[in-house]
Amino acid sequence: MVRCPKRECPIVNMLEIDNLNVWFGKHRDRVDAVKGASFIIGQGESFGLVGESGSGKSTILRAITGLAPLWSGRMIVEGQPLDHQRRKTFFKTVQMVFQDPYASLHPRHSVDQVLGETLHLHGFSDIDARVVKLLDDVGLGQKFRFRYPHQLSGGQRQRVAIARALAPEPHLLLLDEPTSALDVSVQAEILNLLADLRASRGLTYLMVSHDLSVVGHMCDRLAVMKDGEIVEVLTVDALRATKASHPYSQHLLEASL
């Protein structure tokens, strides 16, 4: 399933997670959200993380981006091991799209400000031209450029959030249930947009979802999570052939059919 097997090209894996533990709180209040998670995502691959709410799938994304600071284990992005401090170069490689587009855009910043500030922070100089290009890329016209979030629909907001994540030209995009807060009709549009962007930009996706059909549509391989542990990693083909071996995966599959 890995598009670029290690043998053929020298490029290392996009993301390696090895025995990752993430927890919140200290001492007696400690809650272990992720326990001993391990998986590998190759260059250009689209990988899904599936599980019910509270199973720790979003927490893995937050640990990768540095938003969940308490973790142990190994995380390697493009061959570079991560420590607890994220550098600017990291954010040029890895970006994230949040679950709720109603919460992920600053209510007082226009689309232009959101994208302009992001581009400025990443040190681009031709900001105007890039904002125009980004809006076109995500299927929003120029008329949306100076709008504020409250003047946009949920799908339009999510497109802005995707444009923001694409602004630094990352290689790995973390998608935290990018369509779960949207209407069913809009979900398909956003999923198609994401699939097109991956094809045109050669992106690698790590997508979190509780919806097996979304993951089946978007991903090559997936990991099933339960109570903070990865119970099984399987390919989408195996999923379609209902070859899941772990009872929990079978249970999930039955529930979604």
Partner 1 sequence: MAETQTLRQWLLTDTPSSRRHAKLSALYQGWLSFRANTMAMIGLWILVVLVLVAIAAPLIAPHDPFVQSLGDRLAPLGTEGHVLGTDSLGRDILSRLIYGARITLYIVALVALIAPVAGLLVGTVAGYVGGWTDTVLMRITDIFLAFPRLVLALAFVAALGAGIENAVLAISLTAWPPYARIARAETLTIRTSDYISAIKLQGAGPLRIITKHIWPLCISSLIVRVTLDMAGIILAAAGLGFLGLGAQPPSPEWGAMISEGRRFILDHWWVATMPGLAIFTVSLAFNLLGDGLRDVLDPKAGE
The nearer residue to partner 1, 36 or 148, going by C-beta atoms, is 148
Report how far residue 83's alpha carbon sits from residue 86's, in angstroms, rounded to the nearest whole number.
7
Binding region for partner 1 (CB under 8 A) out of 41-49, 64-72, 194-202, 215-223: 64-72
Is 168 among the residues that bind partner 1 (CB under 8 A)?
Answer: yes
Is 156 among the residues that bind partner 1 (CB under 8 A)?
Answer: no
Report how far residue 148's alpha carbon sits from residue 156's, in angstroms, rounded to the nearest whole number.
11
Is 88 among the residues that bind partner 1 (CB under 8 A)?
Answer: yes
Binding region for partner 1 (CB under 8 A) out of 22-30, 71-79, 87-95, 206-214: 87-95
DSSP letters of 35-64? EEEEEEE-TT-EEEEE--TTSSHHHHHHHH
E-only strand ranges, the chain: 15-24, 31-41, 46-50, 71-77, 80-81, 94-97, 172-176, 204-209, 221-226, 229-235
Q: Kindly calculate the radius of gyration of the chain based on its CA atoms and give it in whole angstroms.
A: 18
The number of beta carbons lying within 10 Å of the beta carbon of residue 240 is 10
Distances (CA, A) of 210 to 35, 182, 223: 19, 14, 11
Binding region for partner 1 (CB under 8 A) out of 8-16, 26-34, 163-171, 205-213: 163-171
Residues 122-141 that bind partner 1 (CB under 8 A): 122
CB 196 → partner 1: shortest distance, Å?
Answer: 22
Residues 5-34 that bind partner 1 (CB under 8 A): none
By the criterion CB under 8 A, which residues form the site for partner 1?
65-67, 88, 91, 95-96, 98-100, 103-110, 112, 117-118, 121-122, 142-143, 145-148, 150-151, 161, 164, 167-168
